[in-house]
Structure formats: C-alpha cells, structure tokens
Amino acid sequence: MEKLKKWQTSLLTPPRILAGGFASIIMLGTILLMLPISNANGESLALVDAFFTATSATCVTGLVVVDTGTHFTMFGQTVIILLIQVGGLGFMTMATLFAMAFKKKISLKERLILQEAMNQGSMEGIVRLIQKVLLYAFAIEGTAAALFTIRWAFDLPFGQALYFGIFHSISLFNNAGFDLFGQVSGPFSSLTSYVGDPLVNLVSMSLIVLGGIGFIVLSDLFEFKTRRKFSLHTKVVLSMTSFLIVLGTIVVFIFEFTNPNTLGSMNWFEKFWAAMFQSITPRTAGANTIDIGGMRQATQFFMILFMFIGASPGSTGGGIKTTTFTILVGAVIAMIRGKEDIVFFRNRLAKDRLNKAVTLVLLALGLVIGVTMILSTTEDHAFLMILFETVSAFGTVGLSMGLTTDLSIVGKILLSLTMFIGRLGPITLAYAVGPKNERELYRHPEGKITIG
C-alpha cells in the first residue's frame, strides 16, 4: 500500500495535475458545446469545432471557428463564459473558492499545485494570494460590467446590455477576446463599432491590462498604501508593460495612419484610441476595434512580436511573458556593456533566471516554428497569415487575420494543441510529460566554446 502511494505521488506531480485538469475541463466543455441546446440552429456542433471552441475558451484565447454571438444560444454562451472564467483564473483557484466556501482545509498537495499554477517560488502565503486573486477578479469584473451596462443601455435593451456587460467584462479581464457583437454588428465584428468610444475603450483596455499584469502585481498595487513600496517583480512588469503600450501605440499610429482599411478614414481622436487599443490587445486579449486583416504587413508582423511576448507571469494571459523578455533584453545590455550581472532597479538577478528565460524562449520558438511549418503544408494561405494565427494561438491572444474559419481539421486540432501548450506553458508541460528530475551527484569539468 505504501509503495502504491509513493508511485501515485511520483506520477501525479503538480504539473501533471494541472495539465490533466485543463484537459478535463476542455473535454467537458466540448461535450456541452456539442449539445443541440447550445447551438442556435438546434443541431449538434461538429466534434472538432466544439473541441476547438472549448479549448479556445478554457485557454482564454478567443480564436473562433463560428461566431459566438450568432451561432450559440444563451446556454452555449454561458458554457463559454464559465470556461473562460475557470480557465482564466485557473481551475485550482476555482476549486479553492469552493473549498473555502465549505470550510475545507487546503492540503499540502493542493498548495503545491496552487504554487505551480500561480508560478510562485514558494508555498508561503499561497492561500492568501488565492483569496486576493478571487477578490480582485470579481471586484474588477463587477465594476467593469456595471460600466459596460450603463454605456450599452443607450444602444440595446437593458436586459441585453446587462448580459453583454457581464459577458464582456469576464472575457476581457481574462484576456479571452470572445464577444457577442455578432448579434449587433455582424459576425466576427468584435468591438469595431466602438472604435472611437472613450468609455468602451478605456474600460476594455483597463480590463486587458489589469488581467495581463498578473495577480502578484495587482496585490502590490492594491496594498501600496500599506507597504509604501513595490517588489522588483512589480517594478519590472509595470515598466515593461508601460513601455510596450507606448511603443505599440506609436508604431500602429505611424504605420496605419494613411491606411484606408484601418486608420486612414478616421479623425485624430479615433486614430489615437484605435492605435492604443491595437497596441494593448496583442498582449493576449484578442478583441479588436479595427480590421486586423486590413492592416499593413509591417503592422501585422509587429503585432506577431507583441503576441509572442504576451502578458506577465501569474496573469490570465499567455506568451513568453514580459519578465522573460525583460531578462533577455537585460542580458544583451549587460553583455554589450561588459558586465557580468543582469541588474534591474539595483537588484542583481540570479543566473538561473536567465537560464529559465532562454529555455522558455527556445521552447516557444520551436513550437511556433514547427506548427507554422506544418500549417504551411496543410493550409492553402499566405505564410504571414499562418504565422500570425500560430503565434496568436500560442500566446492565447485570439486575434485573427481570417484564417481560423477556413482551417482544415488537421489545422484546427494543431492550433487547439498550440493553445493548450500556450496556456499551460512550455516548461510546465515539459515537466508534466518528462521524467521526474533527480539530483545530480557530480558535475562535469568546465569547457569553453567560441561564440560569435
């Protein structure tokens, strides 16, 4: 019996439980979305389309093969928004909510899984962090839902405005990108009808940024009055996030300024809102206020780079994360300056941080390159469109140039797996499928290789 317990412990590691948990939620979502009650036409949705949609919702991506607002009934849309909420906050976070509601004690193993899910270095204070995650998430979503409802009540019946407000606040905060405006503005229209609306833009962008900076940073922000200081992690995330938003706004504004398919016909006010929104949304959000397919290729490629970087650790977003990108930039700067250490805000980073960052980026690049090459064989579309869709899936972004609806069965399955890996994280998945790490009892002699 003791041997069986040891075998189960070694087999059911936190990364494997996380992977299995997300896979189980996707399977349940697939079954529910296939039901005739979920579909407006009263027929069953094809298995591969239901699987793709459930994966996209659970992995908070937003890529869709059918329009959410027009194809699914309220039941189907409710299934999707529940998948988004569970997938965005994490199934273990939601399980902890129910455990606390029923006054159940959180076990050591559950704390280890939460530590892995929240990308924390230790278990210390993990349950308190989860409580804060739930409090912040529901408070932000509730406030945004109220603001959306007030705004959309001018355009829609109050009941529909309230429903839209709740749905889109959850979708945008979790960086999912699913929308219901196909009912109002036509299928796959997203927020294009509100390209120049200040309230919709501000609330939407705030939700995306707050969901993307991570709950550790949110905790620091909300408790700043008490602590009077930020952690190094928070400083790095806020600095890089602000830099990327400003850079993206400038690039989109300049490259699309005269493009008649995007910003060309807008006034300066609308151009500004549209440029800023398209700067923020590639950071794994998936909503858009202008036609992504109508952008210039230079802008589309720039957005691919932003989607690859993604959001921040411990957030509802994907990508390699802003901190990983910052560490790589810091390593380049340190090397150019002839410095041995990477230093941010007068703090030296440990060497293992750079090793992990390089490992993550190489795994992510390998995945994107491999999937893009396969899709270039199975899908008869332009290479840039295929690359855009692949990175959008990996970064759990949800932006599309129009390829998703034309994907073959192989393409849908491949992008579904890419979304799953992107949400779980390449390193976590490697730990889940790889053998258990054993401590090395010796070190090899040091050697030198010429570089450059």
Where do the domains of the chain lie? Answer: 8-433
Q: What is the mean pLDDT of residues 282-299?
A: 90
Determine which helix (DSSP H) or strand (DSSP E) holds 372, and give its type and residue range.
helix 351-378
pLDDT at 14 over 80: no
Give me the pLDDT at residue 78, please. Answer: 95
Band of pLDDT at residue 300, cut at 50, 70 and 90? very high
Average pLDDT estimate for 82-101:
71
Q: How confident is the model at residue 297 (pLDDT cuts 50, 70, 90)?
A: very high
The DSSP output letter for 343 is: E
107-118 burial, b at 16+ Cβ within 10 Å, e below that, comes to eeebbebbbbbb
Residue 4 has pLDDT above 50, yes or no: no
For the segment 164-182, the average pLDDT, to the nearest whole number, is 92
Token pair 């609330």 is at which residue? Answer: 203
Distance separating alpha carbons of residues 221 and 217, to the nearest angstrom? 6
| For residue 37, pLDDT beyond 80 | yes
Q: Which residues pair with 39 in a beta bridge?
A: 72
DSSP state of 347: E
Give mean pLDDT, residues 23-47.
Answer: 93
The residue whose two tokens read 């006010």 is 269
The residue ranking higher by pLDDT, 382 or 14, is 382
| Phi, psi at 344, each rounded to 5° | -130, 125
Contact indicator for 343, 349 with CB cutoff of 8 Å:
yes
Calculate the average pLDDT of the chain: 86
Q: For residues 344 and 236, is the Cβ–Cβ distance under 8 A? A: yes
- In this prediction, residue 7 carries a pLDDT of 41
Mean pLDDT of 200-228: 87
Phi-psi region of 44 (alpha: psi -120 to 50; beta: other; left: phi over 0): beta
Indicate the pLDDT class of residue 119, thresholds 50, 70 and 90: low
195-228 core/surface letters (b: 16 or more CB in 10 A; e: else) = bbbeebbebbbbbbbbbbbbbbbbbbeeeeeeee
At 135-144, the pLDDT tens digits run: 888 999 999 9
How many CA atoms lie within 13 Å of 113's alpha carbon, on the beta-carbon side?
23
pLDDT at 283: 79
Helix (H) or strand (E) holding 75: helix 74-89
The amino acid sitting at 83 is L
**pLDDT of 446 over the 80 cut:** no
Q: Give the mean pLDDT of 150-165.
A: 95
